[in-house]
Amino acid sequence: MPHMRKPNLRENSLRAPSFLVQLVDLALIELTNWRWAWRPMVITGVIAPAFAIVGLGIFARDSGADALAYVLTGNVVLSLLFENQDKVAGHFAFMRLNGILNYFSTLPVRRHALILAVVLSFLLMSLPSLVITVLLGSALLGVPVQLHPIILLVVPVCAISMSGVGSLIGVSVRMPQDVGSVSLLLTFLMLGLGPVMVPPDRLPGVAVFLGRFSPATYAASAMRQALLGPVTGQIAVDLAALLGFTLVTLWLVGRKMDWRQK
C-alpha cells in the first residue's frame, strides 16, 4: 500500500473554519440548547425587577422624578444581571464540571469563539425580559421613556460586560453549588455600591467611591442617558469603562479555561 502521510497540526489549523464561522455555529448550538427554556427565562428575568420597581417606587415617589429615573434604569441593570451574569455563570460552571468544555476543546474551534458565542446567545435571550422591564417600569413609575438611537450600542455593551463577569465566575468557582451564591452576592454588591438604583446624593461617599469600580454603575449611567435622556459626553466614559471591564474579564476567562486538556 502507498505510504499515507499524516497531516501535521499546521495543515489541520489551515483547514479550520474562520473565527466568524466558528462564532456563528457555536452561537446557534447554544441557542438550540435553550430553545425550550427561553420562556421561563423571560419570566424569571422580569419578576425580580418588577418587585423591586414596585417596592422602591413607593419610597422614591416622594423624592421626585430623578429618584424614579434611578429606580427604573437600576432595575433594567438588575434584569441584565439576572439574565446575563447569573445565567452565564451557571452555564459555564455546568459545562466545566460536566466535561462539555473538554469536548469543545477537542474540536477545531478557538476558546474565545466559544466564550463570545455563549455571551451573545444569552444577550439575545435576555432582550425580551429587558423590553418588558422597561415598559412595565415606565408604566408603574410614570417615567416617560425617550429612546435615543445609541441604545442599540448601550444594551449589548452593558449585557456583554455583565456576561463577562458571569463567565469569570463560572470558570473560577470550584463547587457548582457555590456559583449561584457568588453571583448573587456580586449582584447585590454591584447594585448597592454606586448610584445604580439610588441617586448619588443619597448614598454615603464611600459607596459612591467604590461604585466607580463596578460595571453596574457605568451600565446604569449609560442606560439613564439612552432611555431617558439627555445624552451627554459622560456616555463615552461609561461605554469605554464597560468595554474595559469586558476585555479584562473575557481575557481572564480565556486564561482560566484549560483548553486542549486531556
The helix/strand count (H/E) of the chain reads as: 12, 0
What are the residue boundaries of the structural domains of the chain, listed by start?
A: 17-256
CA 108/CA 198 separation, integer angstroms: 47
What's the CA gap between 46 and 37, in Å, rounded? 15
Closest CA to 168 of 56, 246, 232: 246
Q: Which residue has the cell 439574565?
A: 83
User: Do 163 and 88 meet the contact criterion of CB atoms below 8 Å apart?
Assistant: yes
What is the C-alpha to C-alpha distance for residues 133 and 127, in angstroms, rounded to an integer? 10
Query: Across residues 229-251, what is the average pLDDT?
Result: 91
Q: Which pLDDT belongs to residue 52?
A: 81
pLDDT in tens, 21-51: 888 989 998 888 877 777 777 777 778 788 8
| The three grid cell numbers given for residue 258, joined into one nine-digit string | 484549560
What pLDDT digit, counting tens, does each position of 176-235 carry? Answer: 778 888 888 888 888 888 898 888 888 888 988 988 899 999 999 999 999 998 889 999
Q: Give me Rg for the CA atoms of the chain.
A: 20
